């Protein structure tokens, strides 16, 4: 074995290769484990639990919900959702919630807390301040407890207020658990929609939201902003697995009757990447940092892509803050993209290079991304698999022009690949030596 390793090292030195180790992080796919039982109650004896349709908050149906009726005079009503097994630290709890009223007007106290065997554990998530706007009015949100404790078996949603008006909707509670096999990392796990302006924003909203994630570029979700508001209307796609730092967000949309990238309009449209409750990046779609492509010149449909510096697990398109509200935004597509590999030849970032005959070029990946596997082909699509790894040495090449293509696939994900990057190698023949005649005279 030592002899083989030494031989490989000497070969590598001889051809001046640059060794970039293949990224081999585990990076699992995830599956959701939903709470499958519940109990509801109040902390005041003469006030009953008053939770309607309690069983709608358990299981994997993300469209139905229970209703916790908000109590009075500081009484706390709650619903505790129980998981089918004890879960461990590192498995964050998600709870999907909404409200029927503007919570900021009620002196509301709303919290989410992990439990184990009937006792609270870990850090409680108090939903207050700006968080309240995320479920006020006709708005849905997915809240995350990042530190639910070393182990837990349930999560409790608790609510009280000074005025007994309205309800809290509880859709589901779940955790994402690593899978032992590859899984779907592309299909949106859920969609959140609504407006953050409470009752004032009730006339705004999103219609046909699922059209933004149906992989059909002829259909679209419609963001309606019929009233100018201080907040925003949004459609937010939850990814089935966190994206890796350097991944792209891609949003395809149009604003009806707007034929050019008007700063007055497009500066009020933003693409926001989140990791759980926290914003990773928020950028207006007219920013110079965003890559913009006109996909359909006749209908003024644009694709906006942007590289996110940090992991993220949801992508939000947000419209708002206009003094004079525009009517609609059509959102055709929301997705995460793996960026095309940045190619290198003998350690230098380039996509083409010429060599003399007998040279041994080494094709590589500059700044290989975590959780990716890189493969090399002889065609832009399909073709023959030539090699798997970050560095590919095709060997001594005869004179001619050669085209190679490399793509990135996400580890443990099915059907998740980047566009291929083309590399061209030109091998020039050795110059023929001219015959020299020696005259003996």
pLDDT band at 320 (very low <50, low <70, confident <90, very high): confident
What's the first-to-final CA gap in the chain, in angstroms? 62
If 0-12 CB within 10 Å is exposed, 13-18 middle and 19+ buried, where does residue 6 land?
Answer: exposed
Check whether 302 has a pLDDT greater than 80.
yes
**Cα–Cα distance, 181 to 415 (Å, whole number):** 14
pLDDT band at 10 (very low <50, low <70, confident <90, very high): very low
For the record, the structure tokens of 337 come out as 């993209």
Half-sphere exposure of 326 (CA within 13 A, CB side): 22
Residue keyed to tokens 């969609």: 191
The predicted model scores a pTM of 0.85
pLDDT tens readout for residues 50-109: 889 999 999 999 999 999 988 766 678 899 999 999 998 778 999 999 886 665 555 778
Please state, for a pLDDT cut of 70, what percent of the chain lies above it.
79
**DSSP summary character for residue 35:** -
Neighbouring residues of 334: CB distance < 8 A, sequence distance ≥ 6: 188, 212, 213, 235, 237, 249, 250, 251, 315, 317
Identify whether the C-beta of residue 135 lies closer than 8 Å to the C-beta of residue 231: no
Neighbours of 437 (CB within 10 A): 4
Please state, for a pLDDT cut of 90, what percent of the chain lies above it.
57
Which pLDDT value is given to residue 50?
82
For the record, the structure tokens of 283 come out as 């950028």
Which pLDDT value is given to residue 268?
82
Phi first, then psi, for residue 104 (nearest 5°) are -65, -15
**Average pLDDT of the residues in 421-437:** 80
pLDDT tens readout for residues 249-300: 999 999 887 777 776 677 788 999 999 999 999 998 888 889 999 999 888 8
**Max mean pLDDT range (15-29, 160-174, 288-302):** 288-302
Check whether 182 has a pLDDT greater than 50.
yes
Give me the domains of the chain, ranges plus CATH numbers: 24-180 (2.60.120.260), 185-337 (2.60.120.260), 339-428 (2.60.40.10)
Phi first, then psi, for residue 322 (nearest 5°) are -90, 140
Number of H helices, E strands in the chain: 3, 32
pLDDT tens readout for residues 209-219: 999 999 999 99
pLDDT tens readout for residues 111-142: 999 999 999 999 999 987 555 655 556 688 99
Which pLDDT value is given to residue 46?
44
**Cα–Cα distance, 170 to 38 (Å, whole number):** 11
């Amino acid at each position: 074995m030592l002899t083989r390793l030494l031989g490989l090292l000497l070969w590598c030195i001889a051809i001046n290769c640059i060794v970039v180790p293949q990224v081999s992080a585990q990076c699992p796919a995830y599956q959701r484990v939903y709470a499958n039982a519940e109990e509801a109650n109040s902390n005041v004896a003469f006030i009953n639990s008053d939770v309607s349709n309690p069983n709608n908050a358990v299981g994997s149906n993300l469209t139905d919900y229970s209703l916790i009726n908000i109590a009075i005079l500081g009484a706390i009503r709650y619903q505790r959702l129980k998981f089918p097994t004890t879960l461990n630290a590192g498995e964050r709890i998600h709870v999907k919630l909404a409200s029927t009223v503007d919570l900021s007007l009620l002196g509301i106290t709303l919290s989410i807390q992990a439990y184990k065997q009937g006792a609270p554990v870990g850090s409680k998530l108090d939903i207050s301040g700006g968080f309240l706007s995320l479920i006020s009015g006709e708005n849905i949100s997915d809240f995350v407890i990042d530190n639910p404790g070393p182990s837990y078996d349930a999560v409790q949603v608790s609510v009280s207020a000074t005025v007994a008006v309205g309800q809290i909707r509880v859709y589901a509670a779940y955790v994402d658990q690593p899978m032992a096999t590859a899984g779907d990392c592309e299909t949106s796990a859920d969609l959140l929609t609504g407006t953050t302006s409470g009752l004032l924003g009730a006339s705004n909203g999103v219609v046909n939201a699922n059209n933004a994630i149906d992989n059909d570029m002829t259909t679209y979700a419609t963001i309606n902003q019929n009233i100018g508001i201080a907040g925003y209307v949004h459609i937010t796609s939850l990814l089935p697995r966190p994206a890796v730092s350097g991944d792209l967000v891609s949003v395809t949309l149009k604003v009806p009757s707007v034929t050019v990238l008007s700063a007055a309009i497009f500066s009020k449209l933003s693409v926001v990447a989140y990791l759980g409750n926290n914003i990773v990046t928020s950028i207006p779609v007219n920013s110079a940092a965003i890559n913009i492509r006109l996909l359909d010149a006749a209908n003024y449909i644009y694709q906006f892509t942007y590289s996110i510096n940090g992991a993220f697990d949801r992508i939000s398109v947000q419209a708002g803050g206009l003094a004079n509200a525009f009517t609609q935004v059509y959102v055709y597509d929301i997705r995460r993209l793996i960026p095309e590999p940045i190619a290198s030849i003998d350690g230098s970032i380039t996509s083409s290079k010429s060599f003399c005959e007998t040279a041994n070029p080494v094709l590589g990946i500059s700044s290989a991304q975590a959780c990716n596997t890189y493969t090399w082909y002889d065609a832009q699509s399909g073709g023959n698999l030539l090699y798997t790894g970050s560095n590919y040495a095709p060997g001594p090449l005869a004179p001619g022009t050669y085209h190679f293509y490399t793509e990135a696939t996400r580890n443990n994900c099915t059907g998740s690949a980047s566009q291929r990057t083309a590399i061209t190698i030109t091998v020039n023949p050795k110059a023929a030596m001219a015959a020299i005649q020696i005259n003996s005279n």
